[in-house]
Structure formats: C-alpha cells, structure tokens
Amino acid sequence: MKIEKHTSPLFKLKPFVSFLTIFSFLLLAFSGFILYIRPEGSLARWIGWRAIGLDKSGWEAVHIIFCALFVLAGLTHLVLNFKAIVVYLTKGIDNTRRNLLEMVVAVVVVVVLLVTAVGKMPPSSWLMKGRAAFKNNPRALLVEMPVPDFEKRTLREAAEYLGRSPESVVQELKHRGLKGVSPDITLEKLARQNQMSPQDIYLLIR
C-alpha cells in the first residue's frame, strides 16, 4: 500500500499576513507614542527635537507608512479569514446569543470613546491634556521662539529682525566655525548642516 506524503507549501500566506499585522501594529503603536510626546511642530524644529535618531518628520513618515501597512495587512487578514469571522460574529446574534454581551459592550466602548473625543470630554480630554503638556513645554527649550516659524527665516531676515547687519552675523558665525554660512540660508538648514538646532543659532546671533 502506497502512503502519500503531504508536503506543506514553502511560503504560507496566512501566517505571513498575521506576522505582518502584528509587527506593523507594534511599530505603529511605538511611533504613535513617540509622536504623542513630541513637542508641537514648529517648536520641535526650533529646538532640533529628535528621538532615537529621527526628527519629527522622520517619525511621521514611519507612523504613516506602518499605518498604511497595518491597514493593508488587516484587510488582507479579513479577506483570508472572512468565513471564520462571519461565523464568529453570527454566533453573537443567533438564538444561542453566544458572545452577544461582549459584542454589545465592545460597540458601546467604541461609541462612548468616539463621543468623548469629538466632544472633548473625559477620558479622551485627559489624553489630549497630557499631550499638550509634552507639546508646549519641552525640556530642551532655552529661549522662546521670537515669532512663529522663525526657524524658516534666513540669516539675513533674522539679523534684520534683531537689528543687526547680515554681514556681521555671517562673519560671527564663520568665526565660530559654522559651515555653510550665507545670508540666504535658513536657520533650520544651517542648524541641520552643523548638527545644531535653530535655537542654538539664534542664541549665537541675538
């Protein structure tokens, strides 16, 4: 009697999608936490904020990319397990009422959180207040930004704002050893080229 051997495929789609969903969720959650504690946008640029080697735009890119991957993996997981999910859900509304309580509670939790988020009520408002504490009071802030988006001003504009001549500011920064100094370079770009923050540049020239 001949015994047939069943060989498993070299690459299994379902486990792959499951792992992809898990790993993308973990990175999505971690990048979300980093963005939760980061300073407000222009303030993050002003103080040269970074976390684990990435600045604000870097973490936003990570968060968006893995958000898209998580959604794609989740939808694929839903398609691959559609029949099982339908059976599981219908168990909650059939005559046995199995899982009905859990389903109702889950819906209530989601609706309540949605309402509190839109209405800016607790507990959602507590999370947003905690976010504001990190957003507006970074420890690395040494001097307040003179005007919004000051880091985007050129050295010429910054010098004129401070009542100084652009030439004197350029010469002073060159004397301090900064590279790429020119009247038309922005504080943000100059800071990045010299591994500093726009705040540091401002403190040198004010």
Instruction: State the residue range of the domain holding 51.
Output: 13-136
pLDDT of 42 = 81
Specify if 7 maps to a domain. no
Number of domains in the chain: 2
Q: Which tens digits make up the pLDDT trace of 42-56?
A: 888 888 888 898 988
Q: Which tens digits make up the pLDDT trace of 114-153?
A: 999 999 888 888 888 887 776 766 667 788 888 888 889 9
- pLDDT band at 27; cut points 50, 70, 90: very high
> What is the value of pTM for the model shown?
0.71
Specify if 126 maps to a domain. yes
pLDDT of 32 = 92
51 and 82 inside one domain: yes
Q: Which of 136, 159, 188 is the last residue of a domain?
A: 136
89 and 189 inside one domain: no
| DSSP, residue by residue, the chain | -PPPP-PPPSS-HHHHHHHHHHHHHHHHHHHHHHHHHSPPHHHHHHTT-EETTEEHHHHHHHHHHHHHHHHHHHHHHHHHTHHHHHHHHHTTTSTT-TTHHHHHHHHHHHHHHHHHHHTT-TTHHHHHHHHHHHHH--TT--S--SSTTGGGSBHHHHHHHTT--HHHHHHHHHHTT-SS--TTSBHHHHHHHTT--HHHHHHHH-
Q: Which of 77, 105, 136 is the last residue of a domain?
A: 136
